[in-house]
Structure 1
Amino acid sequence: MKKYQKIMALGFTVLSMTVSYGCKNEPKKKKQILLAERVEPPKKANKRTVKIALLLDTSNSMDGLINQAKSQLWDIVNEFTRAKCGNETRPELEIALYQYGNDALSYREGYIQQVLNFSSDLDQISEKLFSLTTNGGEEYCGEVIQTSLKQLKWGNDPDNLRMIFIAGNEPFTQGRLNYKDAVTNAKENDVIVNTIFCGNYEQGIETEWKRGAQLTGGEYMAIDHNREIVHLNTPYDDIIINLNSKLNKTYISYGAMASEYEENQASQDENAMSVGYGVAIKRAVSKSSRLYNNKSWDLVDASADANFELKELDRKSLPEELKGKSNQEIEKYIDSKRIERERIQAEIAEINEKREIYIAQNQKENTQGELEGALLGAIKKQAALKNYTWD
C-alpha cells in the first residue's frame, strides 16, 4: 500500500484554549454551524472548554511516533494545567481520538475508526492511546478530517475552542474526498486544523500537509518521530512515585463499574512506567492537578460537584467500608480522604517544583520531545490570539 508509513498519536493529551471573545467575555453574534448539535449540561459562568481531536495514522512503521505520544502525553497535560483565560478562569480539556490508515480497519469506512469520543477522563485517554496497534493501509487525510467533523459532537458554543491535530507521512491528497473540501468545512464550523508531517519539512510541503493547515489558519509542523528522550534522574523521583501510591489510596470507588475504573487507574500507572520512569513521574504530577477528575467513580471528586446529592446514591453501589453507615458518617469519611488527597497533591506539586529546578540546572540539552514541542508550539501560538496566558 505504501513504501513506508509511520504515524502518530498524541494524546493527548493536549491543550489549548478558547476563542478570543470567550476569554474577553465580549458578546459576539452566534454563527450557525452545521456540525452535530450537543446538548451540554449547564456550566459555571465563564467556564470554557477546549476540544481537541487527534487523528493518528496507525499504518506500518509508526511505532516510534506512538511511543513519543505515550511518553509525552503527560507533559502536554501538565503544561495545559497552567493555561489561563484572560478573565482568570481555567479552561477544561476534552480530547477525542481517531486512527486511520490501518488495514485492520474497515475498507467501507475508509480505514478510519473513532477510538474515543470527546472525553476529559485522562485515564481513559491513556488507555485508548496504549491500545493502538499498527498495520499497513491507505491514509485518507481528507476523509478522516471529514469523518471527525460529522461524528463528533463539537457543539456550537462560540466561546469554546475546537481544534484538530492530524499526523502522518503520506501525501495529504490521498483518498476519494478532496482534503480541501474537508478543511473548508472545518473552517466554516470554527474548527482549526493543524497538521504534523512525520518526516522532512520540505517533503511535507510538497505533499500538501502545509496547505491543509493554512486553509483553516492552523499550523504546519514536521517532526522526527524516531527521536528518543532520555530521562534525567533526580533526587526527587522516588519521592513522587511513593506519593503517587499514597494518592491512589485516597480514592473511594462507587457505582456499578467501580472496580473496573479503579483497576484502570492502576493499569495506566503501569503503562506509564512501562514507557519509562520519567513518564510515570509526569503522570503522577498530572494526577495532582485539577484536570485529573474522576467524579464518575470516585466519591471525593463526585462530592465536590455542585449537583452531587449523597442521599440519592444507590447504597448498594458504595464500597464495603461505607455500607450500613449514616449520611453523616459517610460525609465524614469522604472529607477525611479529601483532606488527605489535597495534602498529598500539594506535596507532589512542591516536590515537582524542586525536581524541575534540578533538571533545569543539570540538563545539558533541551529534552522536549518532537511531538510535544510541535503540539505546544501550535497551541500557544493560537492561544495568544485568544487572550490566553500561562502561569
Structure 2
Amino acid sequence: MQASRIIASSLALSIATLAGASRPVVIGSCPPPECIPQTADDQIIQQTCRVEVVFVLDTTGSMGGLIEGAKQKIWSIATTIAQAQPSPEIRMGLIGYRDRGDDYITRRTALTEDLDAIYSDLMTFEARGGGDAPESVNQALFEAIERFDWTEGDDTLRIVYLVGDAPPKMEYQDDVKYQASCKLAREKGILINTIQCGSMSATRQFWQEIAQNAGGAYAAIPQDGGVRQIATPYDDQINQLSTELNNLMIDYGDRRTRTAQTVKRAQAAEIADAAPTEANADRAAYLGTASGKVTLYGEQELVVDVTDGKVKVEEIPEDHLPESLRGKSKEEIKTIIAENKAKRDAINARMAELVEQRRAFLREASDSTDDGFDAQVRASIRAQAARIGLLIPEND
C-alpha cells in the first residue's frame, strides 16, 4: 500500500518553526508522528484530527442508480478515510433532497460518529418525485452549511458533497441562493465538492461554479453513479466473524443507556440482514479501524470500558449490569470479561487477516479508469485531507 505524498512545504515550514518553542505546542493540523520534531525541551500536544462529511443527495426519480451505489459504497468510503495517518475521528451526515410539491423537500440525518445510523437512514432513501429538471438544490445546500453542528478549528476537515443531475430552481423567492451558501461555507471553512450525474449542460455550469466558489472540486460521473461492486472470496467469512463479534457485546449502564444500546444492536442486526454481502464486508472492514470503534461498540460496552480502564467492575452498581451478570460475584464477572476479550481478540486477529486479503483482491480486480461515485469521493477527499496533515494511502 503506497502512501500519498507527504506534506506541503508550508506545513513542513510551520512545524519547523514550532520546533524552536520551549513552551507546550498545540498542533492545529495533524502531521504524521515522524514529521513532528521532538526535543527534550518540547512538549508536543497532538490534537485529534476530525473529518466531517455531509452528503447532499438528489433523491428524485432519475437518481435510482446513484442512491443504490451510495448504499453499497458508504462503508468503503468511510474505510478509506479511516486509513489516514494519524487516525481521525469521522462524522458523517446526510441530506436527501427533492423539490417543492414532492413527499419532502429535504430529509436530514445529523452529523454522527455512529455510521450505522447514517446507513440505516440511507437505506430508506428511494428515487421518486421530481419531474421538471430543476430541484431544490438551494435549500439543501443552505441546510448542509447551516443546519449541522460542524466542529470548528483547523484540525477538522469539513466537506459537503453535492451529488445530483439537475440544476437548482432559481425562481423561488424565499430561497437562500447557492451563492450565499457558498459564502457561508467559506466563512466556516467548509469545502463544497460537486459531483454531477449525467451530462446536463445546465447542471455542469452550476456545479462547477459552486465548487469553485466554495473551494471544492467538481467531478462528473455516469447517470447511474458508475459504482462497481466486486465480490471477493473473503466476504462470507468476514461477515460471519462480524456477526460473532456483535454477539459478544456486553452492554451496561443505567436504563436509558442500556435501552439505547439494545436499539443499536438491533440496528446492527438489521443492517447485516438487509445490506448486500459486499457492503457488509466493507462495514466489517470499517469497524476494524480505530475510527470505527464508536459505531461498533456504541455508548457503553463493558469489556471495552473495563479493558481501557474507564470503569472498574467493583464500581458498577448491580442494576447497571445486564441481566446475565446480575447476582454474580465480582470475580466471576472479571472472569467472564477476560474470556470474552480472549474470544474477541481471536476474532479480530482473524478478521484483520481476511480484510487485508480482501483489500489485496480488490486492488487487483479494480479498474484504473474507474470514474464512479465512490472513486471520485476518494480522490477529492484524499487531496483535501492533506490540508490538515492527514495522509490517506493511494490505493485503498
| TM-score normalised by structure 1 residue count | 0.78
Contact 1:142 1:183 in 2 (8 A): no
**Shift in alpha-carbon separation, 1:215–1:295, aligned structure 2, 3 A:** same
Kindly provide the amino acid, as one letter, of the partner of residue 83 in structure 1: A
Contact 2:93 2:112 in 1 (8 A): yes
Q: Which residue of 2 aligns with 1:375?
A: 377
CA distance in 2: counterparts of 1:63 and 1:285, whole angstroms = 26
Deviation at 1:351, TM superposition (A): 1.6
CA distance in 1: counterparts of 2:146 and 2:225, whole angstroms = 34
Mapped pair 1:163 → 2:159:
yes
Deviation at 1:305, TM superposition (A): 5.9
Deviation at 1:312, TM superposition (A): 5.8
Deviation at 1:299, TM superposition (A): 2.4
CA distance in 1: counterparts of 2:311 and 2:370, whole angstroms = 40
Contact 1:56 1:168 in 2 (8 A): yes
**Shift in alpha-carbon separation, 1:256–1:113, aligned structure 2, 3 A:** same
Mapped pair 1:82 → 2:75:
no
Q: Which residue of 1 aligns with 2:234?
A: 236
Kindly provide the amino acid, as one letter, of the partner of residue 123 in structure 1: D
CA distance in 1: counterparts of 2:306 and 2:180, whole angstroms = 46
CA distance in 2: counterparts of 1:353 and 1:29, whole angstroms = 32
**Shift in alpha-carbon separation, 1:355–1:152, aligned structure 2, 3 A:** closer
Q: Which residue of 2 aligns with 1:356?
A: 359
Deviation at 1:232, TM superposition (A): 4.5
CA distance in 1: counterparts of 2:48 and 2:331, whole angstroms = 32
Report the 3-state secondary structure (helix = DSSP H, G, I; strand = E; otherwise coil) of the residue aligned with 1:257: helix
Runs of at least 5 residues in structure 1 that lack an aligned partner in the other structure: 1-18, 31-43
**Shift in alpha-carbon separation, 1:29–1:241, aligned structure 2, 3 A:** closer
Deviation at 1:327, TM superposition (A): 3.9
Mapped pair 1:93 → 2:87:
no
Deviation at 1:180, TM superposition (A): 0.7
Provide the aligned length of Structure 1 versus Structure 2.
346
Kindly provide the amino acid, as one letter, of the partner of residue 320 in structure 1: E
CA distance in 2: counterparts of 1:264 and 1:164, whole angstroms = 26
**Shift in alpha-carbon separation, 1:384–1:237, aligned structure 2, 3 A:** same
Kindly provide the amino acid, as one letter, of the partner of residue 169 in structure 1: D
Contact 1:83 1:90 in 2 (8 A): yes
Deviation at 1:228, TM superposition (A): 5.9
Mapped pair 1:123 → 2:116:
yes
Q: Which residue of 2 aligns with 1:3?
A: none
Deviation at 1:54, TM superposition (A): 1.4
Q: Which residue of 2 aligns with 1:291?
A: 291
Q: Which residue of 2 aligns with 1:193?
A: 192
Contact 2:53 2:92 in 1 (8 A): yes
Deviation at 1:378, TM superposition (A): 0.8
Kindly provide the amino acid, as one letter, of the partner of residue 270 in structure 1: D
Q: Render the CA deviation track for 1:182-237: whole Å, top value 9, x for unaligned.
A: 1011101111111111112855433x111101112101111114156555444433
**Shift in alpha-carbon separation, 1:258–1:314, aligned structure 2, 3 A:** farther
**Shift in alpha-carbon separation, 1:132–1:199, aligned structure 2, 3 A:** same
Contact 1:201 1:221 in 2 (8 A): no
Contact 2:193 2:211 in 1 (8 A): yes
Contact 1:64 1:226 in 2 (8 A): yes
Kindly provide the amino acid, as one letter, of the partner of residue 284 in structure 1: A
CA distance in 2: counterparts of 1:313 and 1:74, whole angstroms = 35
Deviation at 1:297, TM superposition (A): 4.7
Contact 1:105 1:112 in 2 (8 A): no
**Shift in alpha-carbon separation, 1:310–1:220, aligned structure 2, 3 A:** farther
Alignment of 1:300-339 (within 5 A): 300-303=303-306, 307-308=310-311, 310=313, 313=316, 315-339=318-342
Q: Render the CA deviation track for 1:103-131: whole Å, top value 9, x for unaligned.
A: 4455xxxx2232x1110112111111112
CA distance in 1: counterparts of 2:308 and 2:103, whole angstroms = 39
Kindly provide the amino acid, as one letter, of the partner of residue 315 in structure 1: E
148-157 or 293-302: bigger deviation:
293-302
Aligned mate of 1:135, from 125, 128, 132: 128
**Shift in alpha-carbon separation, 1:320–1:223, aligned structure 2, 3 A:** same
Alignment of 1:5-84 (within 5 A): 45-84=46-85
Contact 1:253 1:262 in 2 (8 A): no
**Shift in alpha-carbon separation, 1:245–1:183, aligned structure 2, 3 A:** same
Runs of at least 5 residues in structure 2 that lack an aligned partner in the other structure: 1-7, 19-24, 29-44, 253-257
CA distance in 1: counterparts of 2:143 and 2:318, whole angstroms = 42
Deviation at 1:284, TM superposition (A): 2.1
Q: Render the CA deviation track for 1:231-264: whole Å, top value 9, x for unaligned.
A: 5444433322322222222211331233322111
Alignment of 1:239-254 (within 5 A): 239-254=237-252
Kindly provide the amino acid, as one letter, of the partner of residue 167 in structure 1: V
**Shift in alpha-carbon separation, 1:48–1:228, aligned structure 2, 3 A:** closer
Deviation at 1:67, TM superposition (A): 0.5
Q: Render the CA deviation track for 1:49-68: whole Å, top value 9, x for unaligned.
A: 11111111112222111110
